[in-house]
Structure 1
Amino acid sequence: MSGNVIPLSSIARSLPVPPAGGCSSSSCRTPAGQGDVPDAVWDRIKDHPCFSEEAHHYFARMHVAVAPACNIQCNYCNRKYDCANESRPGVTSERLTPEQAARKVLAVAARIPQLSVLGIAGPGDALFDWRRTFETFRLVGEKLPDLKFCVSTNGLALPDHVDELARHNIDHVTITINAIDPEIAAGIYPWIYFKGKRHTGIEAARILLDRQMEGLERLTAKGVLVKVNSVLIPGLNDAHLVAVNQAIKARGAFLHNVMPLISDPAHGTRFGLDGVRGPTPAEVKAVQDSLGGGAHLMRHCRQCRADAVGMLGEDLSAEFTLDKLPEAPVVDPEPRRVYREVVERERADHARAVASASAGLARAATPQAPARLVAVCTKGGGRINQHFGHAREFHVYAVDAGGVRFSGVRKAGTYCQGGEGDDEKMPAILAALDGIDTVFVAKIGRCPRQDLAQAGIEAIDSHPFEYIESAVAAWYAERFGGRDQSASIA
């Protein structure tokens, strides 16, 4: 198996067993990632890697590209087909019929017990191509009733399909809302197609924004969990996203995902060709941090392709093209059931480790100790379990005397190419690590360690396979402790 497809026997041997007598402690009942989320809502999101930051350490998602048509044009989007070399929304290697998509989902579920969510996110708009979308869900639901369904939409057609979404038991919906001011929106959307007519300019923006707000209100009134995506476009909507966050919170949105504009001219988007730049990681974090007190923030988005398969941060879609699928895939439910049991034990253990780390940090670190951002190489499970040279991205955590908190993900080119380090990749990696002076790794070679040190970044490989929070807390207490140097941080 490749990627993060993990044999169940290996997982079961490596994870701790809960204490005798079962899971009666609050840490077992309330996993580390639940926070202030009510129990009823947590039960709906705890296995959804996009709606729960903790879940993305354990569970996989897949998208099926059954909805190629779109009813709006975005200046940051260029839908591409038969494309295996770009990783961004609107891109797919194959367009599927609902029947082909159902076959693919079964094949993935048979090999990846971590699969918990099927999403339809285009490559056009899932609700403009609603017949294909709902037929796909119907076919898959007959075979895999334990799979969660979700759709992503620009919102223009959303009000027409709220009742149908509820009938298909789809209670996770993502709407892309980049502005609530028509003047700003007009700079993002050159046209929309609505009721048999193309609209442009301010008129198009007003129609789209009204439909987005109507759809959001109607979904939340039905108890559907809504995540709002906003593309951060420097100089256009960056200062405006505070107003967007407040507006969607007032209408009941569960999550707000602020993600960077992807603006490579090679992608052929209008913004890319016009030289509109994407934001830096620091700019994205600053905007996200400014939204505190509004809707909950999603900080672990990977801006996935329309045919993505696997854990967030990886894409196994090339392993599941139509020519590689069995004619009649069969899914054994037992590995899926066992995997969820294993994850629950791991979550309970992780929760205890986080609680212990937080308590130890509070004892050891002085309140005046400086806050730090650290980067972590991880393949999932909430652990430091990846070689520096294999990392395609870094998980960033903020740490201070109050604890260790996930801050975001920064993409970077993989340093190791074919088993050898590639020095040409290091500038992009250092750019991704801007503002970070410490990287936690399971292992690192001598040359990249030296390159990092020359850039003022320390690589720490003394906590391999430990939980991230425990390792970071122990490091921080040792470096900035002042009250109880002997405090134990487990």
Structure 2
Amino acid sequence: MPADIAEKVHDHPCYSEGAHHHYARIHVAVAPACNIQCNYCNRKYDCSNESRPGVTSERLTPEESVKKVMFVGGEVQRMSVLGIAGPGDALANPEKTFKTFEMVREKAPDLKLCLSTNGLALPDYVDEMVKYDIDHITVTINSVDETGEIGSKIYPWIYHNNKRIYGKEAARILLEKQLEGMAKCVEHGILIKANSVLIPGINDKHLPEVSKKLKEIGVFLHNIMPIISEPEFGTKFALDGVPSATDQQQMEVQEACGMDMKLMQHCRQCRADAVGLIGEDRGAEFTKERFAEMSFDALEEHYNVEGRKEAHAKIEEFRFFLDRANERVRKEKADLSSDGQTILVAVTTAGEGMINQHFGSVKEFLIYEAGDLGIRFIHHRKLDYEYCAGPDGTNPIDAIVEKLKDCKLILTAKIGGCPQDDLKAAGLVADMSYAYQPMEASVLKATRKYFNLPEEMEAN
């Protein structure tokens, strides 16, 4: 990776799989309007228990957004990125979006700035993005079918040139603007993460073509997001019976798309008001009443740029030693195993690249594919509820076993005897011997132990 690109992504938790264990982000819900309709989207408010795109508990003005950024930045010093990701489309609300960025660039100059868009208005605002040094964007693109056949099944309409346009024509216009806008971003050195929603029966077989086109354009990263399609969310697809994508379906499509593009595999499909590390959501801690009455002078002192620099320096020192511990572990798929045998390993972590979470409080597992020579991160798998907080009348282990049915090992900081026995009966080995150790190095050691090999590899 060129040095200038490596520097841009080094502390960006969405663009760097390594950074997401250490650096936090904040989304401010300043952009309520949207210029397209998606059949997988239902933008709702006051849904604090839903962690998915388009959901927020409160909308903010640009001034309130900047105050929130400064307040949270003082509380969460590992925060490195501000993103505007809705709850609508950032570029369908250009005045609010760029007013927020203008003020944040002045008040919190150390933050990276990002926005998310469907791309319909993207060609019109690339110069504005350059003006405010917005050098990371996310574009959601679900089809590159020039006929509009696939797109018309995903998007009922778009609002373009002051009129609503439907069907295949709408899908063709959207694609044209997405490709034009992304090409302009690449010309200006803006890094693009492309999101594609995996919709079984609609675009699942088509997504490898999307990856090929993204590579041609020069997109940096492709993120395959499984559709969340539960009926209670009220989306058109959910009500029509289009199912949520399974972990196995996501893995299959990632495998096909990874032939052409670098993939983002640590996405959590964040809310429009997300705060904290990717995988955690602290948004409920930072409601308006905590910062709305504070002056900008008081918030500037609270934000404490110098203190944040010191905190980031400590993170980088820790990352240096963690990378040393994980040296030689990460591999491409072809290099994982000397004999073609690999297994899936589930890990419990609370962040910082360590196995540092108890099994009973896990809300998600990180999944690695591992052989005797190396490991590679696959994705995360969310649970509906923690083992220690399962609904009455059910055995919470059943849902976990179903979620991890294709895994062989679970590495965790601590686990009780009862769940350990239940997992063993289901063919899953829970191992606590790597508690509070570097995650990736431990996955390889545990895998080698599983294959009855010495845990440490011989030096090259």
TM-score per shorter chain, which class? Answer: over 0.9
Task: Give 2:313's aligned residue.
Answer: 341
1:386-420 Cα deviation digits (max 9, x unpaired): 00111111001111133111111111134244699
Match of 1:174, SS state, is: strand
What SS does structure 2 have at the residue aligned with 1:227? Answer: strand
Residues 416 and 422 in structure 1, CA contact (< 8 A), matched pair in contact too: no
Q: Structure 2 vs 1, CA of residues 176 and 446 (structure 1 numbering), >3 Å: closer, same or farther?
A: same
Instruction: Tell me if 1:160 matches 2:124.
Output: yes
Q: Which secondary structure does the structure 2 equivalent of 1:407 belong to?
A: strand
- Secondary structure of the residue aligned to 2:74 is helix
Q: Is the Cα contact below 8 Å between 1:449 and 1:459 reproduced in 2? A: yes
Deviations 1:243-293 (A, max 9, x none): 000001100100000010000110100000001001110110111011233
Which residue type is aligned with residue 324 of structure 1? R
Cα pair distance change 1:102/1:191, threshold 3 Å: same
Q: 2:249 aligns with which of 283, 299, 316?
A: 283
Within a 5 Å distance, the mapping from 1:167-186 to structure 2 comes to 167-181=131-145, 182-186=148-152
Q: Does 2:53 align with 1:89?
A: yes
The residue number in structure 2 matching 1:11 is none
CA distance in 2, matches of 1:81, 1:294: 37
Q: State the Cα deviation string for residues 61-80 of structure 1 (Å, max 9, x = none).
A: 01000000000000000000
1:266 lines up with 2:232 in the alignment: yes
Would you say the 8 A contact 1:376–1:396 is kept in 2?
A: yes
Q: What displacement does 1:366 show? A: 7.1
Cα distance, 1:98 vs. partner? 0.3
Cα offset, 1:342, TM superposition: 1.4
Partner of 1:252: 218
What whole-Å deviation, never above 9, does each CA across 1:62-119 have from its counterpart, x for those lacking one?
1000000000000000000122121110100001000110111111001001100000
Which amino acid counterpart does residue 306 of structure 1 have in structure 2? A
Cα distance in structure 2, aligned partners of 1:464 and 1:93: 36
- CA–CA distance in structure 1, aligned partners of residues 186 and 241 of structure 2: 38
> Structure 2 counterpart of 1:439, which letter?
I
Alignment partners' CA distance in 2, 1:332 and 1:451: 49
Name the CA shift for 1:424/1:335 in 2 (closer, same or farther; >3 Å). farther
Q: Tell me the SS of whatever aligns to 1:406.
A: strand
Question: How is 1:90-109 mapped onto 2 (pairs within 5 angstroms)?
Answer: 90-109=54-73
Q: CA deviation at 1:231?
A: 0.1
Moved more, 238-247 or 334-343: 334-343
Mapping 1:21-420, distance limit 5 Å = 37-181=1-145, 182-325=148-291, 327-328=294-295, 329=299, 330-355=302-327, 367-368=338-339, 370-417=341-388
Equivalent pair of 2:55/2:271 in contact (CA under 8 Å):
yes
Superposed CA offset, 1:194-229 (max 9, x none): 011000001101110000000010100111100000
Residue 464 of structure 1: aligned partner: 435
Contact 1:358–1:402 at 8 Å: present in 2 too? no
SS of equivalent residue, structure 1 residue 187: helix
What is the SS of the residue equivalent to 2:192?
strand
Q: Which runs of 5+ in 1 are unaligned?
A: 1-36, 360-364
Distance 2:456 2:22 in 1: 33
TM-score (norm: length of structure 1): 0.88
- Residue pair 2:328, 2:374 contacting (<8 A) in 1 also: no
Deviation, 1:381, is 1.2
Q: Letter of the aligned partner of 2:189 in structure 1?
A: G
Displacement of 1:122 in angstroms is 0.5
Give the residue type in structure 1 aligned to 2:97.
Answer: T
Aligned counterparts of 2:60 and 2:439: Cα–Cα separation in 1? 39
User: CA–CA distance in 1 between the matches of 2:53 and 2:69?
Assistant: 19
Deviation of 1:295 after TM superposition, in Å, equals: 1.9
Long gaps (5+) in structure 2: none
The aligned residue for residue 19 of structure 1 is none
Distance 2:327 2:132 in 1: 39
Q: Structure 1: how far apart are the matches of 2:138 and 2:384? A: 28
What residue number does 1:362 align with? none
CA distance in 1, matches of 2:55, 2:378: 27
Report the more deviating stretch, 406-415 or 143-152. Answer: 406-415
Summarize the Cα distance change of 1:428–1:413 in structure 2 as closer, same or farther, 3 Å threshold: same
CA distance in 1, matches of 2:455, 2:111: 48
Aligned to 1:3: none
Distance in 1, matches of 2:187 and 2:237, equals: 36
For the residues of structure 2 that align with 1:333 and 1:386, how far apart are their CA atoms? 31
With over 3 angstroms needed to count, the CA separation of the structure-2 counterparts of 1:202 and 1:445, relative to structure 1, is same
Contact 1:126 1:152 in 2 (8 A): yes
* Residue equivalent to 2:444: 473
Deviations, residues 328-378 of structure 1 (Å, cap 9, x unaligned) = 32211233112221122222212221226579xxxxx97116101100000
Q: Flag the 1:140–1:321 CA change in 2: closer, same or farther, 3 A.
A: same
The one-letter amino acid of 1:135's match is K
1:184 is paired with a residue whose SS is helix
Q: Percent identity?
A: 49
Q: 1:392 to 1:259 in 2, by over 3 A?
A: same
Moved more, 390-399 or 328-337: 328-337
Q: Report which stretch shifted further, 431-440 or 388-397.
A: 431-440
Residue in 2 aligned with 1:29? none
Offset, 1:315:
0.6
Cα RMSD for the two superposed structures: 2.2
Deviation at 1:473, TM superposition (A): 1.6
The change in CA–CA distance for 1:358 and 1:288 in structure 2 (over 3 A counts) is: closer
The alpha-carbon deviation at position 127 of structure 1 amounts to 0.2
Using the TM superposition, name which of 413-422 and 136-145 deviates more: 413-422
Contact 2:337 2:373 in 1 (8 A): no
Aligned residues: 449
Structure 1 residues 162-198: Cα deviation after superposition (integer angstroms, max 9, x where no partner)? 1001111000010000001110000000000001100
Tell me, what secondary structure is at the counterpart of 1:85?
coil
Cα deviation 1:434-490 (Å, max 9, x = unaligned): 3112110000112221221222111111111111122122122223255x677569x
Aligned match of 1:434: 405
Q: Which moved more, 1:416-425 or 1:405-414?
A: 416-425
Judge conservation of contact 1:413–1:425 (CA < 8 Å) in 2: no
